[in-house]
Amino acid sequence: MKDYNKYISLHPEIRFGRPVLTGTRIAVYDVLSWLASGMTHEEILTDYPELSKEQILACLSYAADREHNILVA
């Protein structure tokens, strides 16, 4: 999924301007941390029923895109 922009937004007043899932106060960082700690997509969706699988995948796509665009000096 490359088109994560429809799922992720940035607003200076929400979570200090960090990327969040649009329409929520759930940061991309939160979702990535849950996945890194071993939570499955299903466990996240059970704990946060307002989220969708597409939003979780958008977080992964966002992180992959950010990693791809980092310049190494």
Q: What is the pLDDT along the chain (73 residues), one digit of tens a residue?
A: 568 999 999 999 999 989 999 999 999 999 999 999 999 999 999 999 999 999 999 999 999 988 877 666 6
Has residue 30 been placed in a domain?
A: yes
57: three-class secondary structure by DSSP: helix
d(Cα 71, Cα 48) in Å, to the nearest integer? 34
What is the torsional sign of CA 31, 59, 22, 46? Answer: negative
Q: What is the CATH number of the domain that holds 62?
A: 1.10.10.10
* Domain contains 73: no
Q: Is residue 33 part of a domain?
A: yes
Owning domain of residue 17: 4-68
For the beta carbon of residue 22, count every other beta carbon within 10 angstroms: 15
